Amino acid sequence: MRILVQKFGGTSVKSKRSRQHAIRHIKEALSEGYKIVVVVSAMGRFPDPYATDSLLSLINGNQSKLSNREKDLLISCGETISATVFSHDLLENQIESVALSGGEAGIITTSNFSNAQIKTIDTQYIHQLLKEHQVVIVAGFQGKTENNEVTTIGRGGSDTSATALAAALQAEFVDIFTDVNGIMTADPRVVSNAKKLEAISYTEICNLAYQGAKVIHPRAVEIAMQANIPIRVRSTMLKDKGTLITNAPEADYSESIHDKLVTGIAYVNHITQIRIQEIKEPQQLHVMVFKAMAEAGISVDFINISPNGVVYTIFERDEPLAKEVLKELKVNPTYTEDCAKISLVGAGMSGLPGVTSKIVQTLTNKQIPILQSADSHRTIWVLIQNKNLETALNALHVAFQLEK
């Protein structure tokens, strides 16, 4: 049995018209002789009625005191609705299918509600259904615990449902259909000259995705990488095959993309920078601050420790808690709010001098202050004020010739 997993994101299943485009891709794959497992996200985006954030808005979003278990029961409904509506539309196109919840599809997760991890997938039932039907539809983003409680696997998790199913079913490949024509050199919503990449390695897109390129979930990439299943990230509206993600050694496609130092640029915003200077006992300060942050469950990033203080970043949503914690410690922090972290990612920059200097020069020419910077062999990060984000991304995109 040749199995293909096709995942359709929120905008791809939003309306009858977009679902019609999705069904065209299913028809094409059926004509090529595949059995298809379709994974769907909830329909549309807020304020569409059954989108995940719309369902969350019924209970005041993340401010609600409702337990994560009950929240999961609520937000999993978005994908359940989507799977059944999609099955209905397929039937109108003379394609019979069976729609399954994540749990019915055999997806067993941990009980870490709202961010559960997939532990195993029992594919027996899907295999049995695929013998009788051409198409099985699975509600993305959901699973169940061993005690049959409904879980969700973290925002953007339908990508992970798709690659995990593909790995368990030993599918030939996974298509991730979305609202852009593949993986681009930067978010096309912010950088209008962003260019589609024909191919990218698992490690590079994983890196970009962890740095904020939300076109695919990094956990989804890791699962496909372990099972060595190729992924195509494609537009639902077009025939184009999009971007191919494989294990291809970087040298194999060096001609096409790795003549460039940087493969892509990603960003994360809603970040606050915290700076604490303490002349007395600086060693004590570092230990005390990071221990207190960890105990409060606040994740810290971009840590710079120097003889007279510490600088680090947190997510804006953790700022009220961080302020309380630091008040208790009786230190004098300065907060720089509304920051953005830009990441330049590329296998080609490994070990090459001059990349950081080019970034610094580009941002300085645009009079954009750099609040912090750091680098590893394949990524360079800079922290700037969010108001400068669009200018910075576009300038760096030009400086590294990513539009060419």
Cite the annotated binding site for ATP by residue number: 7-10, 178-179, 189, 214-215
The partner in contact with residue 205, picked from Mg ion, ligand ADP, ligand ASP, none with C-beta cut-offs of 5 to 8 angstroms by kind, is none
Distances in Å between the Cα of 27 and the Cα atoms of 20, 95, 125, 172 are 10, 9, 23, 17
Measured at the CA of 223, the angle between CA 72 and CA 150, to 5 degrees, comes to: 15
Residue from 24, 127, 155, 358 that binds ligand ASP (CB under 6 A)? 155
Q: Are 26 and 36 in contact (CB under 8 A)?
A: yes
Choices 80-88, 155-163, 363-371, 396-404; region in contact with Mg ion by CB under 5 A? 155-163
Q: Is residue 41 at the binding interface for ligand ADP, with CB under 6 A as the rule?
A: yes
**CB-nearer residue toward Mg ion: 156 or 242:** 156
Q: Is residue 9 at the binding interface for ligand ADP, with CB under 6 A as the rule?
A: yes
**CB-nearer residue toward ligand ADP: 123 or 263:** 263
Closest CB 9 distance from Mg ion, rounded Å? 5
Q: Are 321 and 272 in contact (CB under 8 A)?
A: no
- Compute the distance between CA of residue 137 and CA of residue 142 in angstroms, rounded to an integer: 13
Residue spans of alpha helices (H) in 179-265: 202-210, 218-227
- Compute the distance between CA of residue 67 and CA of residue 189 in angstroms, rounded to an integer: 34
Q: Is residue 102 at the binding interface for ligand ASP, with CB under 6 A as the rule?
A: no
Contacts of 197 (CB under 8 A, 6+ apart): 182, 183, 184, 185, 243, 257, 263, 264
Q: Are 130 and 147 in contact (CB under 8 A)?
A: no
Q: Is residue 143 at the binding interface for Mg ion, with CB under 5 A as the rule?
A: no
Q: Is residue 343 at the binding interface for ligand ASP, with CB under 6 A as the rule?
A: no
- Which x/- pattern over 49-68 shows residues binding ligand ASP (rule: CB under 6 A)? ---x----------------
The partner in contact with residue 42, picked from Mg ion, ligand ASP, ligand ADP, none with C-beta cut-offs of 5 to 8 angstroms by kind, is ligand ASP
Q: Is residue 264 at the binding interface for Mg ion, with CB under 5 A as the rule?
A: no
The partner in contact with residue 157, picked from Mg ion, ligand ADP, ligand ASP, none with C-beta cut-offs of 5 to 8 angstroms by kind, is ligand ASP
Q: Is residue 156 at the binding interface for Mg ion, with CB under 5 A as the rule?
A: yes
Looking up tokens 């984000």 gives 389
**Count of alpha carbons within 13 angstroms of residue 66, beta-carbon side:** 18
Q: Is residue 183 at the binding interface for ligand ADP, with CB under 6 A as the rule?
A: yes
Measured at the CA of 22, the angle between CA 21 and CA 25, to 5 degrees, comes to: 95
- Compute the distance between CA of residue 61 and CA of residue 164 in angstroms, rounded to an integer: 28
Question: What is the footprint of ligand ADP within residues 146-165 (CB under 6 A)?
Answer: 156
Question: What is the footprint of ligand ASP within residues 121-150 (CB under 6 A)?
Answer: 140-141
Contacts of 385 (CB under 8 A, 6+ apart): 336, 338, 339, 340, 368, 369, 371
Q: Mutual orientation of helices 389-399 and 355-365 as an angle, nearest 10°?
A: 130
Closest CB 43 distance from ligand ASP, rounded Å? 9
Structure tokens at 196: 């589609």
The partner in contact with residue 184, picked from ligand ADP, Mg ion, ligand ASP, none with C-beta cut-offs of 5 to 8 angstroms by kind, is ligand ADP
Q: Is residue 189 at the binding interface for ligand ADP, with CB under 6 A as the rule?
A: yes
Residue from 97, 158, 236, 343 that binds ligand ASP (CB under 6 A)? 158
The partner in contact with residue 141, picked from Mg ion, ligand ASP, ligand ADP, none with C-beta cut-offs of 5 to 8 angstroms by kind, is ligand ASP
Residue spans of alpha helices (H) in 101-201: 124-132, 158-169
**CB-nearer residue toward ligand ASP: 220 or 285:** 220
Residues engaged in binding Mg ion (CB under 5 A):
156
Residues engaged in binding ligand ADP (CB under 6 A):
9-12, 41, 156, 178-180, 183-184, 186-189, 213-215, 264
